[in-house]
Amino acid sequence: MSDLDMDFLVGADDDGRSRRRSRTSQGSGNRRGRRRRRRRNRGGFLAPMLAAIVLLGGIGAGGFYGYTWLRDVMTVEDYTGQGVGEVVVEIKDGQSASEIAQTLHEQGVVKSAKAFVNAVADAGMSASLQPGEYTMRKQMSAATAVTLLDPDKRLREKVILKEGLRLSDTLVQLAEQTGKPLREFQRASRNAKALGLPSYAKGRLEGYAFPATYEVSPKMTPADILTAMVDRFHQTASKDGLEREAKALGYTPHEIMTIASIVQAESGSVEDMGKVARVIYNRLGSSPERKLEMDSTLMYALNKYGIAATNADLESDSPYNTYARPGLPPGPITNPGDHAIQAALNPDEGNWIWFVTTDPKRGVTKFTSSEAEFLQLKAEFEKNRRGG
């Protein structure tokens, strides 16, 4: 390396003079110059080293504080233990895990929404969270909270409603089984628009409160429960093609539901329903003036129960008295089940005009197209009723 190169690396004095020495310099001057350059070279090496040490120290300190900050950010706040007290949490239909987490956080169940979201993911339950009401505790660990959101632990009670109940009896059953006031069910039943009744129901719930087993939560109001029953009717009507099939038969959906309700009330068994439906159609189609003469419709009008009307009952001027008025009554007399609806849409083939439940205790019903045989069947019924 030349002296010029060395001077460039070492640099210049403060007064700007070059540190180069003449190539002709001899003796101790050269030696002193070389020693001076070596000392200055040692100083130039130490400065960058000190700078590197300071820089690395800064990075180390920054790394430590950065790690501490990152640790704090990534640490999810969570309670420990089983929690205290009790709180009812409602999960609504369609809520995501993050939305549920926010609800739990707001109600003091979990310490942070993130802790719950993580616990749900760890448990593999992201797709298993179901709407409903759940009993939780406050200040629970997120993992414990997830276990209490098992769908089997929802606050639900089963309400069982049999086929063929009149609306008045249905409302009583609902009040008894849910503990909610009967008058609230009665009030809600009159609000056809709020319940979502079909237009052809003519504003009356009778016949359209579908009988089934329902799961009812504590927060459901009587209107909510009745709406669920109407929704279930809509599902059944859609499955059975009620409107389409009614039109094919030459009846309105409301008339079919009226027929189905009579079928439900008059049938001793599911097996009889198709035949009972056929008797109704045969009577309706035999003559415009032909009367249905069904005890069940008259009993409905009189708010009575029984299978045999008295002579006094026959004097009723109610439009539901099918002994006195031709054609169908104004509307359904019970809430029929799916079997009765299907029977009304698909009656059995036959020429029967009469039927008699000859043995009410065993539910035995006999059908005939002969008036003479019909009278014999009535005699058999009277004998069995007297216990003869």
Please report which confidence band the pLDDT of residue 66 belongs to, taking 50, 70 and 90 as the band edges: low
CA–CA gap between residue 47 and residue 50 (Å, rounded): 5
Per-residue model confidence (pLDDT) at position 55 = 54
Quick check: helix, strand or coil at residue 374? helix
Please report which confidence band the pLDDT of residue 384 belongs to, taking 50, 70 and 90 as the band edges: confident
The token pair that represents 366 in the structure block? 């006999």
Q: Are 133 and 89 in contact (CB under 8 A)?
A: yes
Per-residue model confidence (pLDDT) at position 15 = 44
Residue 28 has pLDDT above 80, yes or no: no
Per-residue model confidence (pLDDT) at position 7 = 46
| CA-based R_g, the chain, Å | 45
Per-residue model confidence (pLDDT) at position 275 = 98
- Residues 182-192: tens digit of each pLDDT: 999 999 999 98
More confident: 179 or 46: 179
Per-residue model confidence (pLDDT) at position 86 = 85
Per-residue model confidence (pLDDT) at position 79 = 94
What's at 186, amino acid-wise? Q
Strands 132-138 and 84-91, bridge-based pairing:
antiparallel
Residue 6 has pLDDT above 50, yes or no: no
CA–CA gap between residue 276 and residue 257 (Å, rounded): 14
In this structure, the number of other CB atoms found within 10 A of the CB of residue 279 comes to: 25
More confident: 299 or 43: 299
**Dihedral angle of Cα 160, 163, 169, 173, to the nearest 10 degrees:** 0
Residue with the two structure tokens 């769908």:
151
C-alpha dist (Å) from residue 299 to 124, 336, 377: 57, 16, 21
Per-residue model confidence (pLDDT) at position 20 = 45
Per-residue model confidence (pLDDT) at position 64 = 53
Residue 14 has pLDDT above 50, yes or no: no
Give the angle subtended at the CA of 356 by the CAs of 273 and 379, to the nearest 5°: 170
CA–CA gap between residue 98 and residue 241 (Å, rounded): 40
Per-residue model confidence (pLDDT) at position 218 = 85
CA–CA gap between residue 155 and residue 133 (Å, rounded): 5
Per-residue model confidence (pLDDT) at position 323 = 95
Reported residue count of the chain is 388
Q: Given CA atoms 44, 49, 54, 55 in this order, what sign does their dihedral have?
A: positive
Residues 6+ apart with CB under 8 A from 348: 274, 275, 277, 278
Per-residue model confidence (pLDDT) at position 47 = 55
CA–CA gap between residue 122 and residue 137 (Å, rounded): 21
- Residues 210-220: tens digit of each pLDDT: 999 998 988 89
- Residues 88-145: tens digit of each pLDDT: 898 888 888 899 999 999 999 999 999 999 998 888 887 778 888 888 899 999 999 9
Residue 349 has pLDDT above 80, yes or no: yes
* Span 3-16, average pLDDT: 43
CA–CA gap between residue 10 and residue 5 (Å, rounded): 9
What percent of the chain lies above the pLDDT cut of 70? Answer: 81
Strands 132-138 and 364-368, bridge-based pairing:
unpaired
CA–CA gap between residue 219 and residue 132 (Å, rounded): 10
* Span 199-222, average pLDDT: 94
Residue 195 has pLDDT above 50, yes or no: yes
Among the listed ranges 5-9, 82-86, 95-99, 248-252, which one has the minimum average pLDDT value? 5-9
Residue 360 has pLDDT above 70, yes or no: yes
The token pair that represents 214 in the structure block? 């329902």
Quick check: helix, strand or coil at residue 361? coil
In 79-211 the beta strands, taken as DSSP E runs, fall at: 84-91, 132-138, 157-160
Among the listed ranges 18-22, 192-196, 248-252, which one has the minimum average pLDDT value? 18-22
CA–CA gap between residue 78 and residue 139 (Å, rounded): 9
* Span 316-336, average pLDDT: 96
Residue 278 has pLDDT above 80, yes or no: yes
Among the listed ranges 28-42, 62-76, 138-152, which one has the minimum average pLDDT value? 28-42
Residue 48 has pLDDT above 60, yes or no: no
DSSP 269-283: SGGGHHHHHHHHHHH
